[in-house]
Amino acid sequence: MPTTPHHIVEVAIPLPLEGSFHYLVPSRLSPLAVPGTRVLVPFGRRKVTGYLLGDAPAAGGELKEVLEVLDEAPLFTADELAFYRWIAGYYLHPLGEVIKMALPAGINLVSRYRCEKAEDGTPVLKEFLAGGKSVRTERFYSRIPDTEAKPRGKGVEILEFLQFLAEGGEGGKDGEISAAALRARFGHCTPQLRRLVELGAARCIDREVYRDPFRAETFDADSPLALNADQAAAFCRIGAAIGTGAFSPFLLHGVTGSGKTEVYLQSIAVALAAGRSALVLVPEIALTPQLVGRFKRRFDCGIAVLHSGLSDGERYDEWRRIRRGEAVIVIGARSALFAPLTRIGVIVVDEEHEGSYKQSEGVRYNSRDLALVRGKLASAVVVLGSATPLVTSYYAAQNGRLGYLHLPNRVRELPMPETVMLDARGQRRKTFLQPLIEAIEANLEVGGQTLLFLNRRGFATYLVCEACGHVLRCPNCAVTLTYHRGRGRHVCHYCDYSIPAPAVCPACKGSEITLLGLGTERVEEEVKELFPQARVSRMDRDTTRGKGGHARVLKALEDGSVDILIGTQMIAKGHDFPGVTLVGVISADASLNLPDFRSSERTFQLVTQVMGRAGRGDKPGRVLVQTLAPEHYALTHAVAHDYEGFYAEEIAFREDVGYPPFTHLASLTFSGIAAAQAENSAEEAVSLLRKIKGDCGLRVEILGPVSAPLGKVRGRFRWQILLKGRDRSELHRILFHFRGGFSHPSAVRLVIDVDPVEML
Ligand code: ADP
Ligand code: ZN
């Protein structure tokens, strides 16, 4: 084999820089420097960790050398690299940052300095690599057979016990037992163990162990349910598609309780039987603890659960289990999309309409969309499930780009809850209209549970002075402060700025200050006043901080120790609470009035979901919706359980104004401490965009710049440009040329968001 004198490699660096970089590999490192490993390389005056992408052809010019190869084995495969490249191209983001985001945080090394003493005693700074690798090991002991050692005292007992294990006693795995278990049995025994090893009677070995957050729980096995006709039809099509081994995407449209999860479970069983793996994405695991249990009961194969509550170490453990093929089902939130599964057979995206699949900083990817891309690269089946599909998904199904599977009825033939709209117009200051009060009372009397939904936490929306009209605002963000009675402060929900509640108006020193608007805290207080006999609880971001916060509140509802639960959208998500027989929507208007073209869609989804919490048990449910907009189509169709009706109106609106699915969007947000600087940059950007559009003859609409709906956040003024393109590739071309040709002052930040979800 001819030897290559120069082994040159292409390296991606996780910094906001375009392109990749070439380095020379010294011969001592050459065998280790394989694609998919991390390498330490000089970069400017720093040393940084980069990702080795592959060999590069020899080129002119001096190259710097790779300093170190940081992994014994590749962290990502060629297939995964292809996926990362796709993401970097689509979201216009540096490849190195995409890779860094895709790999678990636990492995990233950082360069640090440490103060050490030189030989003459003077302190010097030395660079070292702070190991990010957080593998946990545990020491195990076992008997070495046929040795005649004579320990003493406690050592005799321990040796006898190890002998007993070696002969298969206590089902000891390979006759091994951990040091921790020995200490639990014999008390402090480290010297005795050390002595046994010295005597050659026992051996010890350090083994890698996993931190398993679910280890303590055991699950009783269950078996597949006999499917009803609709479920069977959906399952047949998914199963057949898995059998073909080709990419095929489906929309599974089924009301809550229609048995979608059972279809997922049985489809996954088909994939596993075909020797393939499965990925299940859910919006937020903490909100759906019951789901993981259903998977653990059904499958006895390895299941990895990835969620935001894991420490970096726990996450890294799960990642390694998946990489080694020890877990073949992965359940997780947004970032689980990057789980290192091989041979994926099916990807499920549950609640596909959820906005939380979109990452809102860094690489602004959308897991729901990327599930389709990963599924295509892996020749897998992708199932997007929802009771309220995105109108873009439903449109794709109507046009044959997604297979359409429909579960129109609840499994247990329970009637949909009876729903009533309550017109709150002209009664502004009332938190509860009379029919809602009566319904809660009646429900309390029969021992039913009630959910009250309001999508705003805190006590009051804002403080206003009735004398001079002064409103308390955040000095850093263009929003009003929300009063939190529990903390006694007015708080900004964007930057957490807060001030103590004032006794007089800060502007005119008058005392006629009023709290306007409703928050969950205030609803809770009023409920307690109205129904002193009821057991009341609240669930929002303030009451569920910390690990296990959600679980605590949900458990109380489940075991019946709560009569009325008040909450934000957190209570809307997929829980199954048989005891809930009444749902009250306190106000459906907050989300309707957001300056975003998706506000109707979001409101429809939210109200439908909250309604779906009623009557999941044996008793039928009731839903009351209070609103100032009782004629709005998002609400009339939600209350009528009429998705198709809503879709028809919404799709007509989207076509009229040229929004997705009829166009593709990208937003450019410029922000700066100085308002003029951000605005000027945005103006210059528009000129360049117009020029590119003209030069290339692209059909892309350029809107703006305008001051963003949230004109100021954390002290930075924000200006926005919106690009609309009928053709996705033309939109990408203009962005690509723009990024290559545009520069802005370093004081200005530019964020390019492809397929933005949040338009504020
Ligand atoms: P979804 O995911 O659409 O909300 P689930 O799969 O959770 O629906 O089903 C709702 C309830 O009905 C669950 O308790 C589930 O165990 C039960 N269920 C689902 N399919 C069947 C079936 N074919 N036969 C009996 N019960 C079923
Ligand atoms: Zn603020």
Ligand 2 centroid to 11 CA: how many Å? 40
Q: How far is the CA of 365 from the centre of ligand 2 (A)?
A: 26
Which residue pairs, CB below 8 angstroms and at least 24 apart, start in 699-702? 699/725, 699/726, 699/727, 699/730, 700/724, 700/725, 700/730, 700/731, 700/734, 701/658, 701/663, 701/725
Pairing of strands 564-567, 536-539: parallel
- Strand segments, DSSP code E, in 657-735 are 664-672, 700-713, 716-725
Mutate to test the pocket of ligand 1, among 251, 352, 383, 411 (most ligand atoms within 8 A of CB): 411
Q: From the centroid of its chain, how far is CA 137?
A: 29
Q: How far is the CA of 270 from the centre of ligand 1 (A)?
A: 18
Res 128: pLDDT = 45
pTM for the model stands at: 0.83
User: Ligand 2 centre from 521 Cα, in Å?
Assistant: 20
Please count the other Cβ atoms lying within 10 Å of the Cβ belonging to residue 119. Answer: 6
| 386 close to ligand 1 (CB < 6 Angstrom) | no
Query: Left, alpha or beta for 155 (phi > 0: left; psi -120 to 50: alpha)?
Result: alpha
Assess whether the C-beta atom of 260 lies below 6 angstroms from ligand 1.
Answer: yes
What tokens appear for 297 in the block?
Answer: 């009961």
Ligand 1 centroid–CA 540 distance in Å is 27
Is any ligand 1 atom within 6 A of the Cβ of residue 10?
A: no
Pocket test for ligand 1, best of 256, 262, 388 (most atoms within 8 A of CB): 262
Peptide bond into 74 cis (omega under 30): no
Instruction: Read off the tokens for 387.
Output: 């009771």
The CB of 257 under 6 Å from ligand 1? The reply is: yes
Which residues does 393 contact at the CB level (< 8 Å), separation at least 6? 251, 352, 353, 384, 386, 402
Say what the pLDDT of residue 213 is: 52
Which tokens belong to 287? 């909100």
Give the chain's end-to-end CA distance (angstroms, integer): 60
| C-alpha 524 – ligand 2 centre gap (Å) | 25
Predicted local confidence at residue 477, as pLDDT = 77
- The alpha carbon of 757 and the centre of ligand 2 are apart by a number of angstroms equal to 21
**Closest ligand (CA of 576):** 1
Tokens 């869609």 locate to 601
Q: Which ligand is nearest to the CA of 265?
A: 1
Ligand 1 contact, 259 CB (< 6 A): yes
Task: Give the position, in ligand 1's atom list, of the atom nearest the Cα of 294.
Answer: 16
As a whole number of angstroms, the distance between CA 352 and CA 384 comes to: 6
| pLDDT for the residue 256 | 81
**pLDDT given for residue 173 in this prediction:** 57
Q: Is 482 in the pocket of ligand 1 (CB under 6 A)?
A: no
Cis ω for the linkage preceding 415 (within 30 of 0):
no
pLDDT of 708 reads 85
Does any ligand 1 atom lie closer than 6 A to the CB of residue 228? yes
Residue with tokens 């599964």: 341
Cα(691) to centroid(ligand 1), Å: 56
Ligand 1 centre distance from Cα of residue 259 (Å): 4
| pLDDT averages per 10-residue partition of the chain, 760 residues | 69 88 93 94 91 87 90 93 96 95 74 48 48 63 82 87 81 73 86 88 77 61 93 98 97 92 97 97 77 91 85 87 95 95 97 93 95 98 97 98 95 81 81 93 94 84 82 81 85 84 89 83 92 92 74 83 90 75 87 81 92 76 90 94 96 93 95 93 96 96 88 90 94 95 92 89
Q: How far apart are CA 338 and CA 220, in angstroms?
A: 30
Query: Contact at 8 Å (CB) between 224 and 378?
Result: no
| pLDDT at res. 574 | 55
User: Which bound ligand lies closest to the C-alpha atom of 229?
Assistant: 1
Q: CB under 8 Å to 669, separation ≥6 — which residues? A: 708, 718, 719, 720, 750, 751, 753
Q: Is 261 in the pocket of ligand 1 (CB under 6 A)?
A: yes
What per-residue confidence (pLDDT) applies to 214?
A: 53
In 3D, which of 88, 574, 71, 667 has the Cα closest to residue 356?
574
The residue to which tokens 């799709």 are assigned: 651
Pocket mutation for ligand 1, best pick of 236, 256, 261, 410 (most atoms within 8 Å of C-beta): 261
Q: Closest residue (by CA) to atom 20 of ligand 1?
A: 259
Helix axes 95-102, 78-90, angle to 10 degrees: 120
